[in-house]
Chains A and B, each alone.
Chain A
Amino acid sequence: MEHIRTTKVEQVKLLDRFSTSNKSLTGTLYLTATHLLFIDAHQKETWILHHHIASVEKLALTTSGCPLVIQCKNFRTVHFIVPRERDCHDIYNSLLQLSKQAKYEDLYAFSYNPKQNDAERLQGWELIDLAEEYQRMGVPNSNWQLSDANRDYKICETYPRELYVPRIASKPIIVGSSKFRSKGRFPVLSYYHQSKEAAICRCSQPLSGFSARCLEDEHLLQAISKANPANRYMYVMDTRPRHRVQSWWATQKDIGRIIVRISSKIWNDEKIRESDEKKRLNAMANRAAGKGYENEDNYSNIRFQFVGIENIHVMRSSLQKLLEVNGTKGLSVNDFYSGLESSGWLRHIKAVMDAAIFLAKAIAAESASVLVHCSDGWDRTSQVCSLGSLLLDPYYRTIRGFMVLIEKDWISFGHKFSERCGHLDGDPKEVSPVFTQFLECVWHLTEQFPQAFEFNEAFLLQIHEHIHSCQFGNFIGNCQKEREELKLKEKTYSLWPFLLDDQKKYLNPLYGSQSQKSAVLEPNTVSFNFKFWRNMFHQFDRTLHPRQSVFNIIMNMNEQNKQLETDIKDLESQIKQRKNKQTDGILSKELLNSVRPESPALKATLSLKEQTLLPVNDVLRTIEGSSPADNRYSEYADEFSKAEPAVVSLEYGVARMTC
């Protein structure tokens, strides 16, 4: 490739990220068209996909060489020292180019070839079928129908072609409503709860301005509420929090005065709780700018609820702060916790979770339908709708169901994966860890309900890996229309069949207790239940991990149990055979000979099993990082361990997967 000037540099040092004494491994660095590869003296390989690189930094030249720091989107951080500055500069420039592609066609997925034929590839893409999913939920039915209004993406470019709407909502109503909603994202069905007959719907904010109202939009909301025979009363959830109202007031005094008038009117409304007041003012501010929230007077049977999830920019800088804190060398406990606090990361996670719980409760306890929106309805709305459905429906807690959920609420409804994950060299202000937060919320649920999920943490980490890897076509592009134009189904592969093939790795061995499997999950969001997700943010920092994993051992034991069960069946049938033969007494020699050859072979496989099963356990139980050099006890620890060969294990299975 034209960007690569140097393909191989020798005598490169890989520094231990947390060591205070600059402990390092020496090895060779290779640059390929898709990966950066480091092979150390022990032949241990570290693969870094170019698309995973979030930033490359060349630090000031030191006596030992030129430092190159690479931060990855999967939270791997590597610190190389390249002996010659020119090599370092070449690699730096190449990585800058390779990590930020200008065109979709240059992404890895378009060249990745897992050796499948076209039929297999197409089959892979057809694995998840959303029409099937809506059928599973029970739509279309007497109240909900498939609308063809958006069949050619004419009404809304960022929605999928197939949309489900109330049966009584006619096409003119839909068109009218879409004109009133930002980006044409009118209210549509996201999840239908069959037994409660209640629906989760989603849309974007209304362009209501001050007095403008839209009769069609009001009709559509009425139709949604009428489509629920169980409860006519419905909720509209605005997922946005209070804004910086104060600064806005200072500059917009005139509009401010109008708002005072409106808000004083709201004050008199006894339905309104005080805590909602500030959130309302914020939406009010939005409304003054021509965007905002629904005027309650114009919509009957509707309860408006504000939940405070911050916008993508707040989330981006929150993650940035979090990464700064946990990347610090020699971090103290107090700095860690004050950094965790000031980053606000866990507060944001809790906000998303609380919103999803509100949504699930409205449906499960009140049988009320809920319409969820934020500004454009593709970030916070996706978080809340998908997490709410996950709490309500155990299907989404299975491996396959979780894939369906992501396809439905994220991919098809136009969460802008390419922009949010920065797949291409674009506006850095569009990048935001919205989907990462969703995965983290799910992880928190798996911590509280260890038996409710068919999948394990590795599954979440692997999905996170691939939203950034651009190895598969699923997450490329920002909406379905764009994906069709890119002909992703013809030119790239789908991730899901590959994950299903590897299912064993992602199974939760404890899954299956009836009480947790089928129930609506009611997580407790008291603050102390939210913890720092070490295995996500320090996925590649092995020294910080527990040295023995209960989870892996139980997972293996579960596998082993299955194997043992079949072994027992085999053995029992063999014994039976033999016994029968013995009781038969007289056997012709030919018959004996014909049976004979079987048994040594069987014995061989059995003894093989004995050998393969046990070492797996041994490997799992081996103590990793039994060298104190891995840990930072004190300034003395470093002084002591000069002769110690440093053990830096950066490989974690995932990197290998992607090559």
Chain B
Amino acid sequence: MVLCTLARRFVGPLGTIIIKCKDFRIIQLDIPGMEECLNIASSIEALSTLDSITLMYPFFYRPMFEVVEDGWHSFLPEQEFELYSSAISEWRLSYVNQEFAVCPSYPPAVTVPKAIDDDALRKVAAFRHGGRFPVLSYYHKKNGMVIMRSGQPLTGTNGRRCKEDEKLINATLRAGKRGYIIDTRPLNVAQQARAKGGGFEQEAHYPQWRRIHKSIERYHILQESLIKLVESCNDQTQNMDRWLSKLEASNWLTHIKEILTTACLAAQCLDREGASILIHGTEGTDSTLQVTSLAQIILEPRSRTIRGFEALIEREWLQAGHPFQQRCAQSAYCNSKQKWESPVFLLFLDCVWQILRQFPCSFEFNENFLIMLFEHAYASQFGTFLGNNESERCKLKLQQKTMSLWSWVNRPSELSKLTNPLFEANNLVIWPSVAPQSLQLWEGIFLRWNRSSKYLDEAYEEMVNIIEYNKQLQAKVNLLRRQLAELETEDGVQESP
């Protein structure tokens, strides 16, 4: 499952297998004996290209650890909704999608405006791509503004409209307020989408909303970008000019900048302009989720904690129907013709890393946590990232048959490796810089196998030691102060009579 591509080579009796992994590692095995080599290679190939999901590792994995908390039940929609419930009088949890009939890529429970009943939701679903009617993604407690997400409206060439859709999204606006619709596609792409039955919200029908078009790339463009970047990072011999021009040509950092900029814009609308927003692209399962989840990282302190971030992944990626199975089927070493492979989730993690670098004390987790999520999204012994949406996961009975990643991660022994020693809760909104000079290549992912990190690791350890020592000293000073104070009062008692 970890395998991306495999190559065989023979020199005399010595066979060589080169395994290129999804986490960008390249392993070379020298095997004496041509036959053994061929056998091993074909076994590896067969095992890495299983036809059925149910034959994959998570279905056979037997955990060697004690489950303290079952991760499958760690982040239930009801609990998540309750976090908001004190502040929400306008929203309700709807089970209209209980049987996955209204929208196959939505979970059974979604949050919608209270004023809209389930029948109306069904009508709106018919008007939105993939049945993805607008649902609540984030509620900004500070001013009650919200982020909603959906699929594109199916206006088509003749400008179809849907009264229920207009009513639904207007129901989220306060009287006299305007909102913003962020379309993650450029205007011309959105216009072209009309020919295929898609489209965008016409001003005439949504007068209280202002539309903003951004351009976040999708699918194979991102995949090609990743392939180019990894190829360049693996070439140790190239000169400076070639490295810089290849880094530029990969466009990876351009994508990062575009996604971060859009997320900042969304956060800005909410926090600074006091306006609610609706975000969608075409399907609403890729760039839309990048923007909604990153906006929450910027705005919401809870999403910068370990549990909060896990809840965010669960809510905004898994429940929201990001097709992990399709997107992460192959990684950088495989340029397959199937167009649905795309490093959408990796880009999201990279953006989080960029913010983490700029606010190194505001996150409870460290870089390793992000790297761990990247690895498990692409290949894992846990069932969490299997399937493309909740509906598929239910059919696979993952909860019964596999272990959740969160069950494993949320144990103290694991958490200690993933915790940021510098973390100090920061309740402010954090605005990252998106200037090219502030964005960096994520070396922990892309140069991980190409450089020695010995000195950097040692420095990190030293930093942790200083912090630990500081805690010890502070505790000791406090203890001694207390002792001294006690002695002083004793003296005082002795003295006073």
A553-B422, A628-B431 given as contacts; is B253 within 8 A of A333 (CB)?
yes
The prevalent SS among residues of B at the interface is helix
Report how far A306 CA is from B436 CA in the complex, Å. 36
- A572 and B470 form a contact (CB under 8 A): no
Contact of A529 with B by CB under 8 A: yes
Contacting pair A528 B265 (CB below 8 A): no
Using CB atoms, name the residue of chain B closest to A338.
B248
Q: Does A448 contact B (CB under 8 A)?
A: yes
How many A residues, CB 8 Å from partner? 83
A575-B241 contact, Cβ under 8 Å, with A554-B466, A560-B470: no
Say yes or no for B439: interface residue by CB 8 A criterion.
yes
Residue A548 is within 8 A (CB to CB) of chain B in the complex: yes
Q: Which positions 334-388 of chain B face chain A at CB distance < 8 Å?
A: 357-362
Q: How far is the CB of B362 from chain A (nearest CB, A)?
A: 7
Q: Are A578 and B242 in contact (CB under 8 A)?
A: no
Q: In the bound complex, what is the Cα–Cα distance between A451 and B436 (angstroms)?
A: 28
8 Å CB contact of B476 from A543, A568, A606: A568
Shortest distance in angstroms between B468's beta carbon and chain A's nearest beta carbon? 10
Known contacts A509-B466, A524-B451, A631-B431; A571/B477 CB under 8 A: yes
Contacts A631-B431, A632-B435 given: A332-B245 contact, CB under 8 Å? no
**What chain B residues lie within 8 Å of A568 (beta carbons)?**
473, 476-477, 480
Within the assembled complex, what's the spacing in Å between the Cα atoms of A543 and B269?
A: 20
Contacts of A451 in B (CB 8 A): 455, 458-459, 462
Interface centre among B257, B431, B443 (most CB of A within 10 A): B431
In chain A, positions 308-341 with a C-beta closer than 8 Å to chain B are 326, 331-338, 340-341
A449 touches B455 (CB 8 A): yes
Judging by beta carbons under 8 Å apart, are B264 and A571 in contact? Answer: no
- Interchain CB contact under 8 A, B357 and A546: yes
Shortest distance from the beta carbon of A261 to any chain B beta carbon, whole Å: 32
B470 pairs with A561, CB closer than 8 A: yes
A350 in the interface (beta carbon within 8 A): yes
Q: Which of A18, A450, A528 contacts B459 (CB 8 A)?
A: A450
B5 in the interface (beta carbon within 8 A): no
CB-based contact A599/B488 at 8 Å: yes
- Residue-wise, chain A 553-577 has the 8 Å CB interface mask toward B (1 for contact) of 1100110110011011001101100
Report the stretch among B36-44, B161-169, B192-200, B231-239 that lies at the interface: B231-239
Decide yes or no: A636 and B436 within 8 Å by CB, A334-B254, A561-B466 being known contacts. Answer: no
Q: Are B240 and A530 in contact (CB under 8 A)?
A: yes
Please tell me if the beta carbons of A574 and B484 are within 8 angstroms of each other in the complex: yes
Q: In the complex, how many angstroms separate the beta carbon of A612 from the nearest chain B beta carbon?
A: 14
Task: Check A564/B241 contact, CB under 8 A, given A449-B455, A554-B463, A571-B484.
Answer: no
Within 8 A of B (CB), among A601-654: 606, 621, 623, 625-628, 630-634, 636-637, 640-641, 644
Which chain A positions have C-beta within 8 A of B429? 626
Instruction: State whether the Cβ of A347 lies closer than 8 Å to any Cβ in chain B.
Output: yes
Give which listed residue, B242, B437, B490, contacts A534 with CB less than 8 A.
B437
Asked if A347 contacts B470 (CB within 8 A), the reply is no
Contact yes or no, B436 A510, CB < 8 A: no
Closest to A346 in B: B240
Q: Are B236 and A526 in contact (CB under 8 A)?
A: yes
Minimal beta-carbon separation of B353 from chain A (angstroms): 13
| A636–B424 CB distance below 8 A | no
Whether A633 and B261, one on each chain, are in contact in the complex, defined by CB atoms closer than 8 angstroms, is: yes
Tell me which residues across on chain A come within 8 A of B46, comparing CB atoms: none
B432 touches A (CB below 8 Å): yes
The CA-CA distance from A262 to B377 in the complex, in Å, is: 63
> How many A-B contacts at CB < 8 Å in the complex?
221
Residues of A within 8 A of B428 (CB): 623, 626
B interface residues, how many (CB within 8 angstroms):
80
Taking a contact as CB atoms under 8 Å apart, the answer to whether B491 and A582 are in contact is: yes
Q: Is A264 an interface residue (CB 8 A)?
A: no
Chain B residues 389-442 with CB under 8 Å of chain A are 422, 424, 426, 428-441
Least Cβ–Cβ distance between A648 and chain B, in angstroms: 14
A338 touches B466 (CB 8 A): no
Q: B214 — which chain A residues lie within 8 A by C-beta?
A: 634
A582 with B487: CB separation less than 8 A: yes
Residues on the A chain within 8 Å of B469, using CB: 561
Residues of A within 8 A of B212 (CB): 634, 636
- The yes or no answer to A79 lying at the interface (CB within 8 A) is no
Q: Chain B nearest CB: distance from A532 CB in Å?
A: 7
* A538 to B248 CA separation, bound complex (whole angstroms): 21
Q: Does B243 contact A (CB under 8 A)?
A: yes
Inter-chain CA distance A350–B243, complex, in Å, is 13
Instruction: Among B245, B261, B435, point to the contact of A634 (Cβ < 8 A).
Output: B261
Determine whether the beta carbon of B243 is less than 8 Å from that of A527.
Answer: yes
Contact with B along A213-257 (1 / 0, CB 8 A): 000000000000000000000000000000000000000000000
CB contacts (< 8 Å) of A86 on chain B: these are none
Let me know if B441 and A528 touch, CB within 8 A.
Answer: yes
Interchain nearest-CB distance for B231 vs A (Å): 13
Is B109 interfacial (CB-CB < 8 Å)? no
Chain A residue at minimal CB-CB distance from B470: A557
Query: A579 at the A/B interface (Cβ < 8 Å)?
Result: yes
Distance (Å) between the CB of A129 and the closest chain B CB?
Answer: 33
CB of B236 within 8 A of CB of A546, answer no
Q: Is A22 an interface residue (CB 8 A)?
A: no
The answer to whether A582 touches B437 (Cβ under 8 A) is no
State whether the Cβ of B297 lies closer than 8 Å to any Cβ in chain A. Answer: no
Q: How far is the CB of B486 from chain A (nearest CB, A)?
A: 10
Residues of A within 8 A of B357 (CB): 546
Q: Please provide the chain B residues from 63 to 89 with a CB less than 8 Å away from any CB of chain A in the complex.
A: none
Q: How far is the CA of A637 from the CA of B269 in the complex (A)?
A: 9
Q: Chain B residues near A526 (CB, 8 Å)?
A: 236, 450-451
Q: Are B491 and A578 in contact (CB under 8 A)?
A: yes
Residue of A nearest to B429 (CB): A626
Q: Which residues of B contact A335 (CB under 8 A)?
A: 436
* Distance of B292 from chain A, by nearest CB (Å): 16
Contact across chains for A633 and B268 when beta carbons are under 8 A apart: yes
Known: A338-B245, A550-B422. A630 touches B455 (CB 8 A): no
* CA of A425 to CA of B435, assembled, Å: 36
A550 partner residues in chain B, CB cutoff 8 A:
360-361, 422, 463
Residues of B contacting A326 with CB < 8 Å? Answer: 437
Interfacial residues of chain A within 523-552, with CB under 8 A of chain B in the complex: 524, 526-532, 534, 537-538, 543-550
Chain A residues near B273 (CB-CB < 8 A): 640
Give the chain B neighbours of A626 by CB distance below 8 A. Answer: 428-431
- Interface status of B19 (Cβ within 8 A of chain A): no
- B273: shortest Cβ distance to chain A, in Å? 6
Q: How far is the CB of A141 from chain B (nearest CB, A)?
A: 34
* B467 interface residue per 8 A CB criterion: yes
Instruction: Assess whether B474 is interfacial by the CB under 8 Å rule.
Output: yes
Chain B residues whose CB sits within 8 angstroms of the CB of A564 once the complex forms:
470, 473-474, 476-477
Task: Looking at the assembled complex, report how far the CB atom of B282 sits from the nearest CB atom of chain A, in whole angstroms.
Answer: 21
Task: Decide if A1 is an interface residue (CB 8 Å cutoff).
Answer: no
Q: Is B481 an interface residue (CB 8 A)?
A: yes
User: In this assembly, does A515 line the interface, its C-beta being within 8 Å of a C-beta of chain B?
Assistant: yes
30 A/B residue pairs, CB under 8 Å, sorted by A: A331-B436, A334-B254, A336-B437, A341-B248, A449-B455, A450-B456, A510-B463, A510-B466, A526-B451, A527-B242, A528-B243, A528-B451, A529-B451, A531-B440, A534-B438, A546-B357, A546-B358, A547-B430, A548-B362, A554-B466, A568-B473, A581-B491, A582-B494, A627-B431, A628-B264, A628-B267, A628-B268, A628-B272, A631-B434, A632-B435
Besides A626-B430, A631-B433, A631-B434, 12 new A-B residue pairs in contact (Cβ under 8 A), listed by A number:
A336-B437, A450-B455, A515-B458, A526-B236, A527-B238, A527-B243, A529-B451, A531-B440, A544-B433, A560-B470, A581-B491, A626-B429
